Structure 1
Amino acid sequence: MSATTDAAELRELLGYVNNCWDEERRALSRQMHDSLGSSLTALTMHLGLLTSKLPPEPALLDRAAQMKNLLHNIIETNRAMQHKLWNDKLEFLGMRVALGELVAQFAAEQQMAARCSLPDDEPACPRAHRVVLLRVAEEGLRNVAAHARASNVEVIVDDMDDSITLMVKDDGIGPVDGATEPAHWQGCYGLRMLRERARFLGGSLSLAANGSRGSVLSVTLPKPPIPAN
């Protein structure tokens, strides 16, 4: 068996594993929402009813307030975990909303100027494409926060007839020595996995210098042909 065939089979296997992983994350997120989330909401209502029946003793009311705050923190943690596992907004509200909120949250958390340039209309591409685009945006922003020492970042989506491209640009320190070869990615398992996911869909992912300063992480995915009527 040739090396080319081996590489193709390995890429197909990685694509299958990633799709299975996505479905498991999606199922777990929904289970947390439907089971744990509803139980926590019911517990909040019961606690509120119980608190209203307590005698007006400061110690009891203070303990009830502490329990309410603790329960609120658990609910927010559960929501954050659900979101990290699977961003339902990508499916129910679309990629424009999911990316817009991702960039806005990044700007608030990192205290950094961040903006999103998106098409006027929701891009028409398969769910697998949207998942990879969102994952690339997440990984790009994560790397900017961890390594780039940037003050500005921009997420850009270019939706064309036959392909769709997402770029994460920053004005930070850029790739080490301007390196863009795979050797520069040793240890960058998040980027390497995303590159394989892009290749599985027939696309490509690259990391390059952004002019004289900063870097640009770019993924381009071809759109599947529209079936003839």
Structure 2
Amino acid sequence: MNLKLRINLIITVLLFLTLIIGGGIFTVHNARGNVQAEIASTAILALHMLDSEILTYSMSYGQRSPVRVGSGSIFQLNKLMDVRHLKIDFYDARGRLRDSNQSGYINDDVPPNWFISMMDAVTDEMPATKRQVYGGGQIIGELVVTPDPSYEIAEVWEEIQGMLIFVGIFFIVVNLLIYYFVGWALRPIDNILEALTDLEFGNLTARLPKFTLPELSSISNKFNIMANTLEESVADNRHLTQQLIKVQEEERKNLARELHDEIGQHLTAIHVDASAILKAKTVKASKESASAIDVVARQMMDIVHNILQRLRPTGLDELGLEAALQELVSGWNQRHREITVNCHTEGMFSDYDEVVLITIYRIIQECLTNVARHAQAKNVHIVLTQQKQKIILSVSDDGQGFDLSIRSSGFGLAGMRERVEILAGKLEIITSPNKGASINIELPCAMRGEK
């Protein structure tokens, strides 16, 4: 069941219960008062009339025909059949029923038993009124006037039936109006679902209009903000992928050039020296060529080691991040004696995900490369700490700094930022001309095996 039908059903049930319960209480309350008032007024009138008849009969008792008296039609109560709210019975001195106003009347419009029981429960019981009839100084009979609400209850039931028809028509009309207006109010939901479907199938340009209802308008604003963020994120990821491909191709190009220029030349030298050994006629000449081959081989080993170190820091797997960083800093200090690099680590990093460790290593490596090329610094401080659920890295120098607004993506900063964003981290660059530079990075902790 969709939301529209569910809301309409709830409103319908509440409206139905309100009309039935409220209308029923109101109708029964009014009917109770009407029944009692109608019976009371009719009883007063009928008793006045009967008292007059009894007095007349008593005064003219000796003049009446015995046959007429014995026939039980002393008061001719059958003429009072229209007095339906009262049951008027005449009993003789022996208690036998002689006359009644309801002897020949049959009520065809009888309400249901449950309605009669309900009205009897809420209507106060009205006692019968008795009048003794005297003739010749003795009691010849008794008139019993009993309130009979059945006819009034039947009239109330007839009125309720008419009211129920009106209420039914009113209920149907109101329900149709509610269904229409609920559908109109929820129409924007179709737009929201359509926009979500567009996003699901890759249409990142889907947007929602501003709706009239404040709540739906707020949803529209949040959706549009989400769609904008998603579109920008996808664009950034696409750009990042392109950058990664570009970096890979550059690395392959550099590796190919290095293999060709360095390794190729050394292999050529080895080939020449090996040929010289084969052609040598003296041991001395062979030793000189062999010695040259040994020197070239050592140079090739250094070149291969540097290439492997650039492709994958071997110490990171064998010794861990702390030792790999110390090895990196030590080698860097030996090659750049004019700059002093200090590295301080605090924490246990052996259990972190491999991607996190490589990212930290590469960022420090890139920072040191930038210092050597551009900073003109004398001191570099590297601080790596573990704080609760994150890793904090700070690389600062006392060099000439730079204008961040001009070189926001130079010096390998774009690559650093991309590496950090891949791990959902944060990167902050603090620098200004002649005041050094500081690279501050915060990475969420990811243990091995976590995603």
What is the root-mean-square deviation in Å for CA atoms of aligned residues? 3.6
Q: Larger Cα Rg: Structure 1 or Structure 2?
A: 2
Q: Distance in 1 between matches of 2:345 and 2:448?
A: 23
Q: Deviations over 1:135-172 (max 9, x none)?
A: 11011101111111111111110111111011111111
Contact in 2 for aligned 1:104/1:115 (Cα 8 Å): no
Contact in 2 for aligned 1:204/1:220 (Cα 8 Å): yes
Matched, 1:121 2:121: no
Matched, 1:138 2:376: no
What does residue 374 of structure 2 align with? 147
Q: Which runs of 5+ in 1 are unaligned?
A: 30-43
Distance 1:148 1:128, change over 3 A: same
SS at match of 2:326: helix
- Matching residue's letter, 2:322: R
Matched, 1:175 2:402: yes
- Matching residue's letter, 1:104: S
Aligned length: 200
What does residue 104 of structure 1 align with? 330
TM-score by length of 2: 0.39
Contact in 2 for aligned 1:152/1:171 (Cα 8 Å): yes
SS at match of 2:346: coil
Contact in 1 for aligned 2:353/2:448 (Cα 8 Å): no
What does residue 59 of structure 1 align with? 285
Q: Distance in 1 between matches of 2:312 and 2:241?
A: 18
User: Which residue of 296, 309, 320 maps to 1:94?
Assistant: 320
What does residue 9 of structure 1 align with? 234
User: Which residue of 277, 291, 300 maps to 1:74?
Assistant: 300
Greater mean deviation of Cα atoms: 70-79 or 218-227: 218-227
Q: Deviations over 1:31-58 (max 9, x none)?
A: xxxxxxxxxxxxx9xx9xxx9xx99732
Q: Distance in 2 between matches of 1:132 and 1:226?
A: 14
Distance 1:15 1:158, change over 3 A: farther
User: Which residue of 442, 446, 450 maps to 1:220?
Assistant: 442
Distance 1:225 1:59, change over 3 A: closer
What does residue 36 of structure 1 align with? none
Matched, 1:209 2:431: yes
- Matching residue's letter, 1:85: L
Contact in 2 for aligned 1:12/1:200 (Cα 8 Å): no
Contact in 2 for aligned 1:157/1:165 (Cα 8 Å): yes
What does residue 35 of structure 1 align with? none
Contact in 1 for aligned 2:401/2:437 (Cα 8 Å): yes
Deviation at 1:98, TM superposition (A): 1.2
Deviation at 1:11, TM superposition (A): 4.0
Distance 1:197 1:86, change over 3 A: same
- Matching residue's letter, 1:6: E
Q: Which runs of 5+ in 2 are unaligned?
A: 1-204, 206-226, 256-269
Greater mean deviation of Cα atoms: 132-141 or 216-225: 216-225
Deviation at 1:175, TM superposition (A): 2.5
Deviation at 1:18, TM superposition (A): 4.7
Greater mean deviation of Cα atoms: 84-93 or 142-151: 84-93
Identity of aligned residues (%): 23
Distance 1:17 1:209, change over 3 A: closer
Higher relative contact order (CA 8 A, sep 6+): 1
